């Protein structure tokens, strides 16, 4: 990782009650209408996406004979078609998770509180961040009224000096022919939103992003509670220290001791050891990711598919390749960026609705 100019200038618990068994019994009852029948049980970690991006839905048992003893059977509930996601996307099943951070969490910032239970319907989330090559297709092949403007080759941010613009623009991936597999960066919020519409989806809400990252067990990072390492994410490792030393600063702190193999961004999906429980990659490190939400304090009363509409600042999640603070890539961490900014450390991924046959 290379340094910002500012950096250079500055010296399993006991097993719970088996809800799947309960749902199986309820869903098998004659003429039963049971919320959740055919969907993975809320809070279950077993309903993960398959490699094909689908999750199997158990068939309901046949209803028993009627009380008349005639042997005729009541009609069984209609089977629910399996949920499907587009290729390259992971299924995140419907459920409830704990969003945000506890009041006594010393690693958390104030804007992560209060924690509350949030319920989401099933959705699909891209396994990797949108790449330079994928974004370029949207520029070249507009469809259904969606046309992407080219990714910037220069950073756009008020307050940067001309020298800073020149320095940080070197890390805009669209300006490098060899970075087609890297996440597209230096795109603003509207560009990200337009691409997702073009691709048949949308930006994820920050609640969707957080659940995909931390699962239903409240994990600290997408991979679990173990600290960040060079095999789990692209952040500031040994390569940061080397870059700092070359610039005359030998006291640069790093997130971990190892070398993650990337001086700036890394090709999308390059750290499988950092995958979330749903099989989503790079939710920590590489680039911050735009979400659909406008940045604002949490509203405790909004607990079902919450979305805070409007800007001018939008929530970004996940951390980036220059982070040295291990708190930055935490699943609950949130930051804001003005939606018109195009920065070397911000990219995005898309979400989509599930499909059923």
Question: Shortest CA distance to 313 belongs to which of 171, 206, 212, 213?
Answer: 206
- Are the CB atoms for 236 and 260 separated by under 8 Å? no
Could you state, in order of their start, the residue ranges of all structural domains in the chain? 1-11+92-357
Q: Could you tell me if residue 88 is left (phi over 0), alpha (psi between -120 and 50 degrees) or otherwise beta?
A: left
Nearest CA to 352 among 125, 135, 47, 121?
125
Task: Burial-class residue 167 by CB neighbours within 10 Å (0-12, 13-18, 19+).
Answer: middle
Residue 78 confidence (pLDDT): 62
Q: Determine contact, residues 261/236, Cβ cutoff 8 Å.
A: no
Q: What is the pLDDT of residue 46?
A: 37
| 1-11+92-357 CATH | 3.90.1580.10
Q: What is the pLDDT of residue 316?
A: 98
| Rounded-to-integer distance, Cα 32 and Cα 255, Å | 53
Gap between the Cα atoms of 219 and 308, Å rounded: 24
Find the largest Cα–Cα distance for the chain.
89
Q: What is the pLDDT of residue 75?
A: 56
- Beta-bridge partners for 131: 183
Q: Which of 338, 288, 278 is nearest to 313 (CA)?
A: 338
Distance CA 64, CA 71 (A): 9
Check residue 302 and give its pLDDT: 94
**Verdict on whether the full-model pTM lies above 0.85:** no
Strands 288-294 and 346-347: parallel
Across the chain, which has 357 residues, the per-10-residue mean pLDDT values are 38 37 34 37 37 34 36 55 90 97 94 97 98 97 91 95 95 96 98 97 98 96 98 94 79 92 95 98 98 96 94 95 95 97 98 90
Query: What SS3 class is residue 319?
Result: coil
pLDDT at 34: 35
Of 220, 227, 202, 217, the closest CA to residue 333 belongs to 220
Q: Residue 229 and residue 256: Cα distance in Å, rounded?
A: 6
Give the pLDDT confidence score for residue 76 in this predicted structure.
58
CA distance 347 to 291: 10
Contact between 293 and 316 (Cβ < 8 Å): no
Residue 347's nearest CA partner among 178, 179, 192, 209 is 192
């Amino acid at each position: 990782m290379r340094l910002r100019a500012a950096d250079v200038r500055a010296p399993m618990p006991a097993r719970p009650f088996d809800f799947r068994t309960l749902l199986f019994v309820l869903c098998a009852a004659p003429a039963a209408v049971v919320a959740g029948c055919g969907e993975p049980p809320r809070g279950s970690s077993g309903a993960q996406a398959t490699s094909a991006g689908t999750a199997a839905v158990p068939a309901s048992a046949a209803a028993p004979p009627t009380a008349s003893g005639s042997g005729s059977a009541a009609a069984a509930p209609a089977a629910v078609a399996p949920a499907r996601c587009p290729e390259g996307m992971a299924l995140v099943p419907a459920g409830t998770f704990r969003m945000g951070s506890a009041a006594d969490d010393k690693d958390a910032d104030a804007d992560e509180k209060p924690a509350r239970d949030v319920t989401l319907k099933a959705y699909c989330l891209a396994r990797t961040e949108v790449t330079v090559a994928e974004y370029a297709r949207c520029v070249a092949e507009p469809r259904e009224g969606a046309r992407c403007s080219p990714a910037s080759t220069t950073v756009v941010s008020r307050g940067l000096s001309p020298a800073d613009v020149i320095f940080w623009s070197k890390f805009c991936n669209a300006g490098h022919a060899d970075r087609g597999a890297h996440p597209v960066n230096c795109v603003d919020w509207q560009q990200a939103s337009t691409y997702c519409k073009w691709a048949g989806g949308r930006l994820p809400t920050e609640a969707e992003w957080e659940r995909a990252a931390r699962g239903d067990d409240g994990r600290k990072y997408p991979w679990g509670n173990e600290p960040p390492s060079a095999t789990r994410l692209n952040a500031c490792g040994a390569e940061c220290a080397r870059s700092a030393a070359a610039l005359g600063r030998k006291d640069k702190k790093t997130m971990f001791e190892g070398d993650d193999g990337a001086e700036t961004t890394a090709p999308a999906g390059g750290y499988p050891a950092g995958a979330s429980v749903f099989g989503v990659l790079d939710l920590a490190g590489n680039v911050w990711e735009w979400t659909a939400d406008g940045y604002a304090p949490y509203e405790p009363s909004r607990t079902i598919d919450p979305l805070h509409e409007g800007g001018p600042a939008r929530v970004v999640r996940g951390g980036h390749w220059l982070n040295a603070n291990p708190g930055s890539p935490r699943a609950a961490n949130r930051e804001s960026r003005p939606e018109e900014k195009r920065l070397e450390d911000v990219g995005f991924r898309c979400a989509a609705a599930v499909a059923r046959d």
